[in-house]
Structure 1
Amino acid sequence: MSARLVDIIVSDTEVSAVEAVIRRHCRRFWQETVPNGREKFSCIVQPRYVERLLDELDSRFGSSAGFSVTVSALEAVLPPLEETPETALPVADLPPPTRLEAFFSRDRISTDEIHDDIAESIAIRPSYLLTVVLSAVIAALGMRSGQVAVVIGAMVIAPLLGPTMGMALAATVGNAEMAKRATATLIVGATAALAATYGLGFLIAVDPTVPELLNRSIVSPADVTLALACGAAGVLAFSRGAALSLVGVMIAVALVPPLAAAGLFFSKGYETLAFNALFLFATNLVCVNLAGIAMFLFQGLPPKSWRMTGGVMAVWGFVLLLFLGVMAGRIAFGIGSESLVEQVLDIIIRPLG
């Protein structure tokens, strides 16, 4: 990952204190005078050191008049900044990271950068609602006709990516305000997706036995594994600064299609299939959040309170265990995919007989 350029502006009375902080977190920096009695430091910082630099600057100078910090990505740095155990910059008053911690956090962008990437996507705007509706309609039409490529198109749009990542990040760092906004945005988006596909169902014919649709009404342990992998892979890519559309392929595969299928099923009167699709959506949402929080922690994001973060993870884990219990009960009583197909065929054939 490329280095970051951190520009710091402070009052000229704090130059010595700021320089002492900078030297603890980066090896290359330069200073220049700017108007109004202020000084500017430009620092080339490796990604793994950005977060601790910002934290110390904010704690020491955040309330100072004229203080500001901006961070931007650099495409290349010459000569390159080599990082080895021998050249690693120590952290004052903290034990050095283990090799495992350093390995998994070295490519991660800072918490502030992750927060800024997510903050814009958890606001309820007309563009967000329109994107949700279009994504759900595309997914519904793709599943209805059995066209996998069209369903993938809905995944790339990824409207539920921001709220989902926002919920996981908020639980990790203990940001209650972000958690409320992300949850509200997700609920509004899910409702819009259901409403759009419910209305669409009155305009098109729907065959519930089409595999792309029927598969969204079947919940199995394999779906739990898929959702956990999606959540972990999505957070891993997101925290490395990957494009939202690429991460969306990992996340939307677990969230958008079940919602679209549920809307179609409700419109045609297949309530059992619709509730099964919603159950798949809920299961996937729990798994994505649980795996997302675990991956954020694994990469070294600092929780505000381990008790709070652990409590949220415990709640998600308890809900997942309940869902797994429901799945086990269905399997024990023989309510599997084969019996579900028979029920669907019975629903269709009964009116004809």
Structure 2
Amino acid sequence: MSARLVEIIVPDAQVASAKLIIAGHCSRFWQEPVPDGLEKFSCVVPSRSIEQLIAELDDNFQGAEGFSVLVLQVEAVLPEIPELEEITPSPSGKHKPPSRLEVFFTRDRISTNELYDDIEASLELRPNYLLTVILSALIAALGMRSGQTAVVIGAMIIAPLLGPTMAMAMAATLGDKALGRRSMITLSTGILAALLLTFLLGMAIDVDPLVPELRNRTIVHPADIALALACGAAGVLAFSQGASLALVGVMIAVALVPPIAAAGLFFGSGEAVLGYKALFLLATNLVCINVAGIVTFLVQGLPPRNWRITSGIFLIWLVILLLFVGLIGGRIAFGGSEPIFDNSGTFSIRATKLPE
């Protein structure tokens, strides 16, 4: 059973109200007095009920002296507690019980508070963050230059851009302006640091644009859009279930780190056109991750604070994605440009056309 141990501390005067709320969300809880006129409840709550329980406690006891809530992961429970199929509505009638569809979609998601706690540390601009971004880009750049796919995968496991990327989608879903601002600053700083490092690397080493690992980052295909959408959805799905950050990071990094490193190498080696194409792939992937991330967060039951803000941000991302899809479709329909070497070994750009 996916459950949490929730410890709730309330003033003695609020014990009766707290007991009614807790009893509506779980079938097993304990009560004990604590110093300073407070009472502590310990209860085992199904994960799908955490969101509503915390919201109801906050509505009733926010500002009460000594009130606090602590949520802990539960590995095992004996004797077993059957998961509640329906959540009893609170006596106040302020919160409606979730529908069966809501229960189905939210049964495995960790609470919003847990999501905030998981993502908070990764949004701080510290030397360690910049160092991991630079190392990840360096490893990816050298791996792509030599055509070693395994090395590129190793760069993804470092996953420095995981936090700000997930935070952008989460901020858009919740309508949290402060979180969105922090995530954009952190992500932009990381991307610029990676571009600068790989630019200097591109100036110092020979870069062959025809190496498949590099060349693939200069051409955006519909399959790349599908890959980025899948990465964003899978990353958010794993993140919202409390999965390993390394696993989530690989899903996100596969769409972000390689094009950043490729763009830096191309700019540093004097291939500005190819560098801009790699940046276009980066922008496309970032838009796709946010579109898929917002949709997945909503499907997982993450409650927006303001639907107007959430829908507005989502529509902006969607319009940008449709614009990119149109540009990609136009290139395919009317003939794209692909880098080649002619027989004399001279690098050139040749237009490719669809067969008639």
In which range does the TM-score fall when normalised by the shorter chain?
A: over 0.9
Matched, 1:83 2:83: yes
Matched, 1:132 2:130: no
Structure 2 residue identity aligned to 1:91 = P
Q: Do 2:156 and 2:249's aligned partners in 1 also have CA atoms closer than 8 Å? A: yes
Structure 2 residue identity aligned to 1:55 = A
Matched, 1:116 2:114: no
Q: Do 2:46 and 2:84's aligned partners in 1 also have CA atoms closer than 8 Å? A: no
Q: Do 2:24 and 2:87's aligned partners in 1 also have CA atoms closer than 8 Å? A: yes
User: In the alignment, which residue of structure 2 is the partner of 1:34?
Assistant: 34
- Please give the TM-score of this superposition, normalised by the length of structure 2: 0.93
Structure 2 residue identity aligned to 1:20 = L
Shift of 1:189: 0.5
For residues 251-277 of structure 1, what are the alpha-carbon distances to aligned partners after superposition, in whole Å with 9 as ceiling and x for unaligned? 100001000000000000111110000
Match for 1:340 among 314, 338, 351?
A: 338
User: In the alignment, which residue of structure 2 is the partner of 1:212?
Assistant: 213
Counterpart Cα distance in 2 of 1:346 and 1:68: 73
User: In the alignment, which residue of structure 1 is the partner of 2:329?
Assistant: 328
For residues 228-269 of structure 1, what are the alpha-carbon distances to aligned partners after superposition, in whole Å with 9 as ceiling and x for unaligned? 111111110100000110011111000010000000000001
Which aligned pairs between 1:257-336 and structure 2 lie closer than 5 A? 257-335=258-336
User: In the alignment, which residue of structure 2 is the partner of 1:59?
Assistant: 59
CA 122–210 in structure 1, closer or farther in 2 if over 3 Å, else same: same
For residues 164-216 of structure 1, what are the alpha-carbon distances to aligned partners after superposition, in whole Å with 9 as ceiling and x for unaligned? 11011111111110000001101000001101111111232211100001001
Shift of 1:346: 9.3
User: In the alignment, which residue of structure 2 is the partner of 1:163?
Assistant: 164
CA 322–347 in structure 1, closer or farther in 2 if over 3 Å, else same: farther
For residues 60-80 of structure 1, what are the alpha-carbon distances to aligned partners after superposition, in whole Å with 9 as ceiling and x for unaligned? 111111111111101101122
Q: Which SS does the other structure have where 1:9 is aligned? A: strand
For residues 119-148 of structure 1, what are the alpha-carbon distances to aligned partners after superposition, in whole Å with 9 as ceiling and x for unaligned? 111111111101100000010011111111
Q: Which SS does the other structure have where 1:234 is aligned? A: helix
Counterpart Cα distance in 2 of 1:153 and 1:173: 33
CA 151–350 in structure 1, closer or farther in 2 if over 3 Å, else same: closer
Counterpart Cα distance in 2 of 1:345 and 1:140: 26
Counterpart Cα distance in 1 of 2:76 and 2:198: 46
For residues 46-96 of structure 1, what are the alpha-carbon distances to aligned partners after superposition, in whole Å with 9 as ceiling and x for unaligned? 1001111111111111111111111110110112222264xx323344554
Shift of 1:99: 3.4
For residues 7-61 of structure 1, what are the alpha-carbon distances to aligned partners after superposition, in whole Å with 9 as ceiling and x for unaligned? 1111111111111111111111101111111111111111001111111111111
User: In the alignment, which residue of structure 1 is the partner of 2:50?
Assistant: 50
Counterpart Cα distance in 1 of 2:264 and 2:41: 55
Q: Which SS does the other structure have where 2:217 is aligned? A: helix
Q: Do 2:195 and 2:261's aligned partners in 1 also have CA atoms closer than 8 Å? A: yes
CA 154–28 in structure 1, closer or farther in 2 if over 3 Å, else same: same
User: In the alignment, which residue of structure 2 is the partner of 1:68?
Assistant: 68
Structure 1 residue identity aligned to 2:156 = M
Q: Do 1:46 and 1:81's aligned partners in 2 also have CA atoms closer than 8 Å? A: no
- Please give the TM-score of this superposition, normalised by the length of structure 1: 0.94
Q: Do 2:26 and 2:84's aligned partners in 1 also have CA atoms closer than 8 Å? A: no
Counterpart Cα distance in 1 of 2:101 and 2:253: 30
Counterpart Cα distance in 1 of 2:237 and 2:141: 29
User: In the alignment, which residue of structure 2 is the partner of 1:8?
Assistant: 8
Q: Which SS does the other structure have where 1:258 is aligned? A: helix
Task: Spell out structure 1 runs of 4+ moving beyond 3 A.
Answer: 91-100, 344-348
Structure 1 residue identity aligned to 2:54 = L
Q: How many residues get paired? A: 345
Q: Do 1:197 and 1:264's aligned partners in 2 also have CA atoms closer than 8 Å? A: yes
Q: Do 1:108 and 1:299's aligned partners in 2 also have CA atoms closer than 8 Å? A: yes
Match for 1:349 among 329, 346, 353?
A: 346
Shift of 1:223: 0.5
Counterpart Cα distance in 1 of 2:325 and 2:77: 50
For residues 260-303 of structure 1, what are the alpha-carbon distances to aligned partners after superposition, in whole Å with 9 as ceiling and x for unaligned? 00000000011111000000000000000010000000111111
Q: Do 2:171 and 2:179's aligned partners in 1 also have CA atoms closer than 8 Å? A: yes
Structure 2 residue identity aligned to 1:143 = M
CA RMSD of aligned residues (A): 1.7
Which segments of 5 or more consecutive residues in structure 1 lack a partner in the other structure? none
